[in-house]
Amino acid sequence: MPGKWQWFHKLGSPRWFYGIADRFNPLLLGSALLLLVAGIVWGLAFAPPDYLQGNSYRIIFIHVPTAFVAQSVYIMMAVAGAVTLIWRMKLADVFVRSVAPIGAAFTFLALFTGAVWGKPTWGAYWVWDARLTSMLILLFLYFGIIALGSAISDEKSSARAVAVLALVGVVNIPIIKYSVNWWNTLHQPATFKWTERPAMQMDMWLPLLLSVLGLYLFFTWLAFVRMQTEILHRERRTQWVRQLIQQRKG
Amino acid sequence: MVFDSLQAFIAMGGHGPFIWTCYAAFLIVMVGLVFWSFQQRRQVIAQSLRQQRIEQRKAASTPVSPSESELT
């Protein structure tokens, strides 16, 4: 059925996606590493020290990117969950499965780097305030999605259960985002806002922006790689995957 | 560079241990994620190759005589 919905059906085709991912992966990885290295080296060695915190603030160049991407990944998972429930698109479920461990790893890193940064800055590794607690809940949501997905063996019911959990859990995201405004907290407010220029000086926020973009690209690359693996597994009985695997072997 | 020497860069004005712990954790987790993901890829490919071989053997043995499959 040709028409305006054709691209949508194509997007749902695992085989089509596999080829697209193959084509974009080298470019994604290359630009991700370039931006990450540039942002981190700039941040560590060339950005000026903070007038209050000294050098400890240099943790921001991995803390903010991991926290930022960890939250966006969850939002993407919720959107993919809705797509799974409404259109039964297989690729959306493949996405959720493949990125949940990446999201969990980034959330862990955000919590860990935040704790280590907290020690010299606040005098404590951990405080039970709104931002930190809601971020910990995000980690548990990721764990829940991974566990739920592997606990149900039937592919369709597993996909539906995971999609529902991803959707329900998304209420936590605005709580994380606005926790620094709604409650008294030790955590500093958002570094980047849509409406205002950053309060930081440019040679602090520019390297931060580079590492955020770099981590986004890195996430996209790794998500593509993991989705390809999931497709190879799910479509292992199809002719095109059989041929592909035979070719890889040879 | 805003630091006078390599030592000053590593010491980070006394914050070195905190900063380098974070960057080490970041590197370890990122490399671990990539390594684990490619290990999964290898496993999936090996598993499906094994499956294909089993099916080929079955297909080869069932219609013809069973003794033939022992030779291959």
Q: How far is B27 from chain A (nearest CA, A)?
A: 10
Chain A closest CA to B64's CA: distance in Å? 24
* A211: Cβ contacts below 8 Å, ≥ 6 apart: A35, A36, A39, A40, A43, A61, A62, A64, A65
Distance CA B29, CA A200 (A): 28
What SS3 state is found at A50?
strand
Nearest CA to A13 out of A162, A225, A233, A235 is that of A235
User: In which band, very low, low, confident or very high, does the pLDDT at A217 lie, cut at 50, 70 and 90?
Assistant: very high
Residue B28 banded pLDDT, cuts 50, 70, 90 = very high
Query: What is the average per-residue pLDDT within A72-94?
Result: 95
Average pLDDT of span A219-226: 98
When CB atoms are compared, the residue of A49, A59, A245 closest to B18 is: A59
Residue A6: the pLDDT is 66
Q: What percent of chain A has pLDDT over 90?
A: 70
Tell me, yes or no, if B31 comes closer than 8 A to chain A by beta carbon: no
**Which contiguous run of DSSP H or E holds residue B57?**
helix B16-61
Q: Is residue B10 in some structural domain?
A: no
> What local confidence, expressed as pLDDT, does residue A198 receive?
72
Q: Which residue of A245, A246, A247, A248 to mutate against B (max B Cβ within 10 Å)?
A: A245
Q: Which residues contact A121 (CB under 8 A, 6 or more apart)?
A: A53, A56
B42 within domain boundaries: yes
Task: Give the pair of three-digit tokens for residue B36.
Answer: 């684990």
Count up the domains in chain B and report the number: 1
- In the predicted model, what is the mean pLDDT of residues A9-14? 73
For residue A11, the model assigns a pLDDT of: 64
* Average pLDDT score over chain B: 87
Question: Rounded mean pLDDT of A37-59?
Answer: 92
Task: Tell me which chain A residue has its CA closest to the CA of residue B49.
Answer: A245
Q: What ipTM was predicted for this assembly?
A: 0.90
CB contact under 8 A, B19 and A222: no
Give yes or no for B45 touching A (CB within 8 A): yes
Can you give the pLDDT at residue A54? Answer: 87
Residue A175 in this model has a pLDDT that exceeds 80? yes
Give the domain range for residue B41. Answer: 18-57
Nearest CB to B37 within list A56, A66, A226: A226
Residue A49 zone, left/alpha/beta (φ > 0; ψ -120 to 50; rest): beta
Of B2, B16, B49, the CB nearest to A49: B2
The pLDDT assigned to A166 comes to: 96
pLDDT-derived band at A199, boundaries 50, 70, 90: confident
Q: Does the domain at residues A23-189+204-249 carry the CATH identifier 1.25.10?
A: no
DSSP string, B6-47: HHHHHHGGGTHHHHHHHHHHHHHHHHHHHHHHHHHHHHHHHH
In the structure, what pLDDT confidence band is assigned to residue B70 with cuts at 50, 70 and 90? Answer: low
- Which band of pLDDT confidence, cut at 50, 70 and 90, is reported for residue A115? very high
Reported confidence tier of residue A5, pLDDT bands at 50, 70, 90: low
Q: Is B62's pLDDT higher than 80? A: no
Contact in structure between A220 and A39 (CB atoms under 8 Å): no
Closest Cβ opposite residue B48 in set A108, A226, A236:
A236
pLDDT score of B67: 53
B53 within some domain: yes
Domain for residue B32, yes or no? Answer: yes
Alpha helices in chain A (DSSP H): 6-11, 14-41, 60-87, 90-122, 130-151, 155-169, 172-182, 202-234, 239-249
- In chain A, residues with a C-beta closer than 8 Å to the C-beta of B33 are 101-102, 105, 222
Q: Give yes or no for residue B64 having a pLDDT over 70.
A: no
Please determine, for residue B68, whether its predicted confidence score (pLDDT) is greater than 60.
Answer: no
Range B43-49 average pLDDT = 93
pLDDT for the residue A210: 96
Model pLDDT, residue B63? 64
Q: What number of residues does chain B have?
A: 72
pLDDT surpassing 90 at residue A82:
yes
Closest CA in chain B for residue A44: B9
User: Would the CB atoms of B19 and A101 count as touching at under 8 Å?
Assistant: no
Is the per-residue pLDDT at B59 higher than 80?
A: yes
Chain B residues with CB-CB distance to A146 below 8 A: none
CB contact under 8 A, B40 and A101: no
